[in-house]
Amino acid sequence: MSVWKEFSKGIAKSNPVFRLMLGLCPVLAVSNSVENAIGMGSAATFVLLGSNSVISIIRKLVPEKIRIPIFITIIATFVTIVELTMAAFAPALHKSLGIFIPLIVVNCIILGRAEAFASKNSLFLSILDGLGMGIGFTLALITIATFREILGNGSWLGITVFCQNFQPALLMILAPGAFLTIGFLMGFFNWIENRKNNLRG
């Protein structure tokens, strides 16, 4: 049960976007299409897994006073691997995501999990935490991007989902559309959480 709890908390109870409101900068910027959302989510998940694993392994060797610079160096290493790999094998996606791939280095989710969890827990639990948070972040991105792409472009993953007479709301693929979508989804998930608490009470 503890294993499942550590893995699932990042997907639902402590979802980094909808519950903790972390990493919103890339969410707002790249969630205009599902393809971008999958690419960013996959990159962040890889960095979370890699950095959590390494930091957990070396946690007892890192001097307390310089732990943050060491954590950032480790995170930057995995971000560099992701960026170079994406540039080599998915250049169109790399170009589309642009500066937001290297900015994963300063993503609050990554450093937050390193400091709050990986530096205090075993390798196995740190892997579960990184994987759960990465999947939660990716699912949040895909959910937001689904609404934005369908309503703003009439497509999903580039596949047209409406007839030719459909007039897309271009606002949805712009920055205000991202704010509106995140706000409505957060409100919806909060409403569900409140209903559950009321039923338990």
Identify which has the larger pLDDT, 101 or 13.
101
Average pLDDT over residues 23-46: 93
Q: Please tell me the distance from the alpha carbon of residue 95 to that of residue 136, in angstroms, as a whole number.
A: 24
**Residue spans per domain, the chain:** 2-142
Residue 86 pLDDT > 80: yes
Percentage above 70 pLDDT, the chain: 99
Query: What's this model's pTM, rounded to 2 decimal places?
Result: 0.91
Residue 79 pLDDT > 90: yes
Q: What pLDDT does 115 receive?
A: 92
Average pLDDT over residues 1-25: 86
Residue 201 pLDDT > 70: no
Q: What is the mean pLDDT of the chain?
A: 91
> Do residues 139 and 11 lie in contact, with contact meaning Cβ atoms separated by under 8 Å?
yes
Residue 175 pLDDT > 70: yes
